[in-house]
Structure 1
Amino acid sequence: MPGNDHYVRQILKSLSPDEDRVCLVYEDTPTRAGELSAAVRSAAAGLRAQGVGAGDVVAVMTVNNTPATLILRYAAGLVGAVVVHVGTVNAVNPGDVLRVREQFDIVRSTRARVFAIDADNAERARELRDRFERPVLLVALGDLGPDVVDLSVLPPDAFDLADAAQGELAVVTYTSGSTGRPKGVCWSYEVRNDVLARMAAQAHRQTVLITAPLTHTAAFTSDNVLVAGGTVVLHHGFDARAVLRAVERHRVTRMMLSAPQVYALKDHPDVNSADLSSLRDLMYTGSPAAADRLAEAVKVFGPVLCQIYGNSECGQMCRLSGDDHTRPELLRTVGRPVDLVTLSIRDLQDDRELPPGEPGEVCVHTPLAMTGYWDDPEQTARTLRDGRLHTGDIGHLDEEGYLHLRGRIADVIKTNGIKVYPAAVEGALAAHPGVAQAAVFGVADADRLERIHAVVVARDGHHVTADDLRDHVATTLSPNQAPAVVTFRAELPVLGFGKPDRLRLRAEAEEAARVPSHNEWEMR
């Protein structure tokens, strides 16, 4: 490993050479490097004074994508605590806040000793605290009342960086997957230290716009940017007009969006007048992207698009570079494995490695993977086997080493005697000029036969019918893969970077199928 220096200490050391430079921008308000470092050290001193240390669990309950979210996480990290974000399990929408019951389940499961809060979450934190018989400490960056410890009181020099502590786990990220049950993805100090050392060694300064919640991988992106001497621009969520304005105003060089967000940015009326000359990397991830829409985006943004294939359990696995986007045949792939990742396709029955062209489960080996799922040894054992992380995705490698995804193992639809991969049907639907987004899943009918359902968001200004889309899929793929039921909606529910929540859509379709009425689910 490049080194095992504490990851937060690495970040704070990177801030010290030029304390007057702007390292963080929130709502167009800048935070200078010296200010951020001082706030983190003061808060860490406050936590230590309260006896918080290695192995204690600190639940962060703040408005997403504010400086407080980063400061409280870094302060907890400096004293060796485990940080658990309990704001949301949605990796793309900061405004999708968990309900009280869901937050209670997380803090109870993790046995959180401390709630790190802000003014907007004080009332809810007190409500949660009062549900526990054990004592729970409330802390904040400011005076929120006599029952909340103010972590901004002690001077920064009350915490010596040489005293930074670390336990085994650094961060637990709760994410909602295909099962619908939130999973706590555990990240060790060892891995976080290693990643930050690698990023610091690159010393590649960037100005990065973040619209996804700091409760998930966007937080790690912030770490990477700050340790390399860059600047983080925080937005509360994705708004195409605000994003274009931010790129121009702050000279943003990199941002990470979902594929549907790239489409929205491309289609925005201000895109042609905005100054995007600073942008070097327009990265997108999440749901499968439509090759035709990507080709259109390349024409608008130039050779800056970069597709990332990854997951919450190990981060990036594959990358489709800007140069790759100039080859139309590659736009249907998710790229090739990145450094430190060894990728293989495994047979679903006997786990043997499959040759190029044969579909199987995508498995990876990387030193930068999670340690497991919080308090779930069975799921951990299913996911981490023989030194490999089993993704649950189905795909195949081609002769050049590019990965082609077909969908999730759990999502495969068996109909008319064949296996239908939802991702393939979604890709065909997304290629239709009248479709903005699509989600495909299987629903069993009264005879227990699976039928293909599609939920579609039409593009603005386009009129498209269910029959149009069925004919399009039948021609593009095959009649057996055409959806039997097509529903139109204004938007899709999502889990992460544009990933459609098929579990929710399937449940709604099953409920509607039990109601004998001529409603929107019966658009034949």
Structure 2
Amino acid sequence: MHNEGLGSWPARRARKTPRRTALVHDGRTLAYADLDERVTRLAHGLRSLGVRRGDRVAYLGPNHPSFLETLFAAGALGAVFVPLNTRLAAPEIAYQLADSGTSVLVCGPAHAGLADELRAGAPVRSFVAVDGAGAQYFQDYQDHQDYEDLLAGGAADRIDEAVGPDDLCMIMYTSGTSGRPKGAMLTHGNIIWNAVNVLIDHDLVADEVALVSAPLFHTAGLNMLTLPVLLKGGRCVLVAGFDPEATFDLIEKHRVTFMFGVPTMFQQVARSPRWEGADLSSLRILTCGGAPVPPTLIAAYGERGLTFLQGYGMTEAAPGVLFLDAEHAESKAGSAGVQHFFSDVRVVAPDEPGLRPTGPGEIGEVVVRGPHVFRGYWGLPAESAAAFTDGWFRSGDAARVDEDGYAHIVDRIKDMFISGGENVYPAEVEHALLTHPDVLECAVIGVPDDEWGEVGRAVVVARPGSAPTAEDLLAALAGRLAAYKIPKSVVFTGALPRNGAGKLLKQPLRADFGNP
């Protein structure tokens, strides 16, 4: 094959295990040979819509076989896949479509209405609706295609476009501290090498059964769980969204061996009345990321004979950086582990030129280098260059390394906080708040929350002569930002602390207003 990228995976796997089940969704199973045929037909269908090498094809919708089929079909053409976060508000999605220059949008079930909303603000040429989702919205538009009709009309002869490891595979948006999300450019090689790291460090086997309830539009659900399992020839059980009660049923029915989730998901499972009596005997690998795992949660799963494998990563690294294996899960509890097999990681002095490694126990910035690290941000050459020092990507996260070389993430140099596994960047929320006529100044910080880990709190200086309420300000954000980004509380103050250069100082804000 000339195609060495992800677009060739269905064909390569079908050569080896054609009748093995690849995907399970809503009572339907899809063998690797069937997946290969559907991807081939979809690739022809996308080509008939004008998609060529380098063109962007976006997907908006929950976990569904069509998400993966679209990813692989785009890869077969040498096109670029753009997964969209369904939790975002319409203006946020429209920005990503416009910024990426997406030409074709595939919208999954229940999202056709949102896709219709996006028409005015995004330069999308063609809309493809899955499961008849667009019938009531797109029937009068010539640019609408039904997904299954597009496949049925596509040829079955293989497309073998020359695609190499250095070719762009995916633009995955990650929120930026400037208030605008940035598109991380991940090559086919980035994602392949990350998958190899997972195969090695997670010790995956060919009969792995993965429960994919974490969203595929996030890098962990896609690149740390689903794609490595498909590369190995295992089975992925796709569900549209996470439900703790349904999780028990799915584990028992499909004999699930591998799960990924953020701590909130695992907490909800452990709080269920079914927890004590549930059959969890098939589970072999539980990986948890997005936020530190509370010791009480580790203990609860330990009582059921289950061990969390924790890790640390970022979209820009596709995403795996550090990993704590089962052998050291207890002795190094609280650590993010050591670097993945094909990854180099250092903790360096953050305020010094160069990359001086810190000593044991000294806090510094995490930097990473390896074949899985992205090539830069889409359309942002200056920011891309600034993100690297001597070939090392600067994460902006602070950590310390113990005497055994295990890294402990201790803080975030950037102001980002994590709410329910979702990254929230205060600058983006602050930008939205400042458009309110009654807000003179504002700052957003993360505060502890029992359910979500952290939630936002807005510290606001009201414009003289105005008297806004917390309810007014939060209501003004509804529909403009994703719900998880909207602060859960507002406090008012007379002034925000700044240094002599006028830079906002958030540490005093956290000290004064950071308690739950």
Say whether the fold is shared (TM-score over 0.5): yes
Contact kept? 1:24, 1:233, Cα under 8 Å: yes
- TM-aligned CA deviation for residue 74 of structure 1: 1.3
User: What's 2:310 paired with?
Assistant: 307
CA distance in 2 between counterparts of 1:112 and 1:326 reads: 46
Counterpart residue number, 2:467 = none
User: Residues of 2 paired with 1:458 and 1:203: CA distance?
Assistant: 31
Is the CA contact (8 Å cut-off) linking 1:83 and 1:171 kept in structure 2?
Answer: yes
The aligned residue for residue 21 of structure 1 is 20
Instruction: Tell me, in whole angstroms, the C-alpha distance in 2 between the residues paired with 1:64 and 1:285.
Output: 20
In percent, how many aligned pairs have the same letter? Answer: 28
Q: Which has the larger displacement, 51-60 or 392-401?
A: 51-60
2:337 to 317, 335, 338: 335
**1:139 and 1:129 mapped to 2: Cα distance?**
13
RMSD: 3.7
Distance, in Å, in 1 between the alignment partners of 2:229 and 2:250 is 17
The equivalent of 2:57 in structure 1 is 58
**Map of 1:183 onto structure 2:** 182
Compute the displacement of 1:127 (Å): 4.1
2:128 corresponds to? 139
Matches within 5 A, 1:335-484: 335-350=337-352, 351=354, 352-411=356-415, 454-457=447-450
Extract unaligned runs of 5+ from structure 1: 89-95, 413-421, 427-438, 442-447, 460-499, 516-520
Q: CA distance change for structure 1 residues 356 and 73 in 2, over 3 Å: closer, same or farther?
A: same
CA contact (8 A) 2:445 2:514 kept: no
Task: Write the deviation string for residues 425-445 of structure 1: whole angstroms up to 9, x where unpaired.
Answer: x9xxxxxxxxxxxx9x9xxxx
Distance in 2 (CA, whole Å) between partners of 1:183 and 1:136 is: 22
SS at 2:94 equivalent: helix
Change (3 A) 1:339 1:107: same
Of the structure 1 ranges 137-146 and 351-360, higher mean CA displacement relative to structure 2 is found in 137-146
- Change beyond 3 A, Cα 1:107–1:289: same
Please tell me whether the aligned partners of residues 356 and 397 of structure 1 are also in contact (alpha carbons under 8 angstroms): yes
Q: Which of 208, 211, 214 lines up with 1:212 in the alignment?
A: 214
Instruction: Give the superposition deviation at 1:103.
Output: 1.7
- 1:38 aligns with 37
SS of 1:326's equivalent in the other structure is coil
Shift of 1:169: 1.4
Distance 2:351 2:204 in 1: 45
Deviations 1:444-487 (A, max 9, x none): xxxx9x9998443379xxxxxxxxxxxxxxxxxxxxxxxxxxxx
Report the CA distance between 1:141 and its aligned residue: 5.5
* Matched AA of 2:143: D
Rounded Cα–Cα distance in structure 2 between residues aligned with 1:261 and 1:119: 23
Separation (CA, whole Å) in 1 of partners of 2:368 and 2:110: 41
Between the aligned partners of 1:272 and 1:230, the Cα distance in structure 2 is: 28
Q: 1:19 to 1:334 in 2, by over 3 A?
A: same
User: What is the aligned partner in structure 2 of residue 148 from structure 1?
Assistant: 144
Shift, 1:222, TM fit: 1.9
Q: Which amino acid is the alignment partner of residue 121 of structure 1? A: H
How big is the shift at 1:164? 5.6
Instruction: Check 1:392–1:234 CA distance in 2 against 1; reply closer, same or farther (3 A cut).
Output: same
* Whole-angstrom distance in 1 between the partners of 2:298 and 2:154: 51
Query: Aligned ranges for residues 52-131 of structure 1 at < 5 Å?
Result: 52-61=51-60, 63-86=61-84, 88=85, 96-118=86-108, 120-131=110-121
Q: Which residue of 1 aligns with 2:228?
A: 224
Contact 2:189 2:372 (8 Å CA) reproduced: no
AA paired with 1:365? R
- 2:257 aligns with 253
1:41, distance to aligned residue in structure 2 (A): 0.7
* Structure 2: unaligned runs, 5 residues or longer: 427-440, 453-482, 496-512
Does the 8 Å CA contact 2:81/2:170 hold for their aligned counterparts?
Answer: yes
- The 1:38/1:141 distance shift into structure 2, 3 A limit, reads farther
* Cα deviation digits, residues 483-513 of structure 1 (max 9, x gap): xxxxxxxxxxxxxxxxx97x7549x434x44
The residue type equivalent to 2:63 in the other structure is N
SS of the aligned residue for 2:180 comes to coil
Which residue identity does 1:77 align to in structure 2? Answer: G
